[in-house]
Structure 1
Amino acid sequence: MSGEVPDLASAVTEAINPRTRDIDTRSAEEIVELILSEDARVVPAVMAERDAIARLAEVVAERLRRGGRLIYAGAGTSGRLGMLDALELPPTFGIEPGRVVALVAGGPAALTGAVEEAEDDAAAGAADVAAIDVGPADVVLGITASGRTPYVLGAVSEARARGAYVAGLACNRPSPLEELVDLMIAPVVGPEVIAGSTRMKAGTAQKLVLNALSTTVMIRLGKTFGNLMVDVRPSNRKLWQRAIRIVTLATGLDATEAQRLLEAAAGEPKTAIVMALAGVDAEEARRRLAASEGRVRDAIGGGRDGQATAGR
């Protein structure tokens, strides 16, 4: 094990919550009410960081347009949340695998079981960043509830040395992580219901931030048309039905015609929508989408009256 073990004494995420000191004496109904009342504090804390989240989203979108990557680095719950976000983006938004990457302390074994000692290894964080050849085109987001996890600090330090844009996500401020990054997102959610159990409020806050960040990035990259996820990959029956519904909602066509167009577009909802709204074939639809960097509105020449839902 390498790297200094972090001093958590000053971390608010490790503090004793005065509102739940006697939680073990409460009924099940009272315990649930206490937990949920504490969770209600999370959204305002994340909202307070909305400007920082938006700034990071613009940076990430710009780097991805240039061929760079978004790389999450975390340990324990924080690392698993990063991995979850990275895994869900390709099927949801059609982004190529490998463009959003997650590094987790302890590697794949840490996704299905606890590898607690791995988070104390700063050298491993640096090595994992080096192993995927992080460079100036990339953005690395270090995720740690305490802002002190050695693995994450090692990863962020190595990424910065390699010229990447580095950002931090923690639920404490100030923190050692904040001193290492170009931009800090710090929703301070206060002490946990169970002292130090950062899978709870801190984990919820991190999930909210990652949802807002990655979804904003995908929207800025043209992965939606209105609020429809038009780059979804219909890789199974459920997703094929969803793709048909997306085409019907975007174009006003019935399901039969939408399916016909989707089949002609090789299962690409975005292509099928441009075909319908611009009155072109699949080849021309793809050419227009390529010229407009994947933005449906630009490919069809702006909003159209025939659009049923997405543009209203």
Structure 2
Amino acid sequence: MADRPTEARHPHSAGLHALSGPDALSRLLDAQLAALSMVRPAIAAIDAAATAAAESLRGGGRLGYAGAGSSGLMALADALELAGTFGIPPRRTPVLFAGGAGALLHMTGAVEDDPALARADFRAAGLVRGDTVLCLSASGSTPYTLVVAALAREAGVTVVGIANVAGSALLRDSDIPVLLDTGPEVVNGSTRMGAATAQKVALNMLSVRMGCLLGHVHDGYMVNLVADNAKLTERAARIVAGISGCDMDMAKHALRQTGGAVKPAVLIAAGASAERAEAELTNSGGAIGPALAALNA
């Protein structure tokens, strides 16, 4: 373990406890910014991962997330946001988190070393050929995550490995390796800090790029949103108005006709009937831009 960069001593660790509050926090912020900078060299790999994820979902498959500890929490956070941001239902994005729901309230280290648990979770997730799974581990050697990755490969699932140690087992055994080489932590070994920060940002980028590829983002708007509460209704109306150029009253009227679905509401607000809106979205594969162009042709 001492040979892992994530377990090495950070040059700014010494004397951290004795610094003034502002000085200690400045060191911590500098370390977070340095970790964040290591996402940029991974952009090409993140793009490849986003493309694989989009292809799986577009083809009717699923996108799984797997991890333990802090890496598992980063995976879980991204997965949970996909429904609200992009309208992707949770059944399409299974999460394999070492220890399950119980570990969210009381995290224990033992679960990440349990291969039987990983095998059971993989079977329960039901991932199959054509699916993609994002496997996260700061060290790239977490047993739970490695077992999930191995089982996924055997099943023909595309494995995206996201790790913070170059040459680690997870990266070697992944179809799409994503290295976030964040190095030592200011608090020795606390990978919930720099490593997890880089993982979270990489996942943010990956899922947004995936949303763009799926046609769920248009001009920065979340167009696959389905409004099911007051806050989302207002947001959806602003999206419809922003894209179609109509006023808020017209936008809300269009949303009432679509049950809160933004994409067809945009086309209705732009002058389409409900039937034509659905037809144009079917023809465009759900992408707003081509559907609007066809409507205005």
TM range (shorter): over 0.9
CA distance in 2, matches of 1:303, 1:185: 41
**Structure 1: stretches of 5+ with no match in the other structure:** 1-7, 306-312
Contact 2:13 2:188 survives alignment (8 Å): no
How far does residue 56 in structure 1 lie from its aligned partner after superposition?
1.2
Residues 42-61 of structure 1: pairs in structure 2 closer than 5 A: 42-61=35-54
CA-CA distance at 1:124 after TM superposition: 1.6
How far residue 153 of structure 1 moved from its aligned partner, in angstroms, is 0.5
The answer to whether residue 117 in structure 2 is matched with residue 124 in structure 1 is yes
Partner residue, 1:308: none
Aligned position for 1:296: 288
Name the structure 1 match of 2:84: 91
Alignment of 1:35-184 (within 5 A): 35-184=28-177
- Out of 15, 19, 33, the position equivalent to 2:26 is 33
Hey, what's the Cα distance between the residues in 2 that align with 1:76 and 1:303?
49
2:115 & 2:2 partners in 1: Cα distance?
20
User: What is the CA–CA distance in structure 1 between the aligned matches of 2:88 and 2:266, rounded to whole Å?
Assistant: 18
Contact 2:65 2:76 survives alignment (8 Å): yes
Provide the residue aligned with 2:257 in structure 1: 264
Deviation at 1:123, TM superposition (A): 2.7
Count residues in correspondence. Answer: 297
2:279 corresponding residue in structure 1: 287
The SS at the match of 2:91 is coil
Secondary structure, counterpart of 1:71 in structure 2:
strand
> Aligned partners of 1:293, 1:181: CA distance in 2, in Å?
30
Distance 1:209 1:168 in 2: 12
Q: 1:302 to 1:200 in 2, by over 3 A?
A: farther
Q: 17, 36, 45: which one pairs with 1:24?
A: 17
1:250 to 204, 219, 243: 243
Give 1:282 shift: 1.4
CA contact (8 A) 2:280 2:294 kept: no
Instruction: Name the % identity.
Output: 39
- What TM-score do you get using the length of structure 1 for normalisation? 0.92
- Structure 1 contact 13–190 (Cα < 8 Å) conserved: yes
CA distance in 2, matches of 1:196, 1:47: 23
CA contact (8 A) 1:90 1:96 kept: yes
Whether the aligned pair in 1 keeps the contact of 2:67 and 2:97 (CA below 8 Å) is yes
Give the partner amino acid of 1:286. Answer: E
Deviation of 1:301 (Å): 2.1
CA contact (8 A) 2:119 2:147 kept: yes
Q: Residue type matched to 2:97 in 1?
A: V
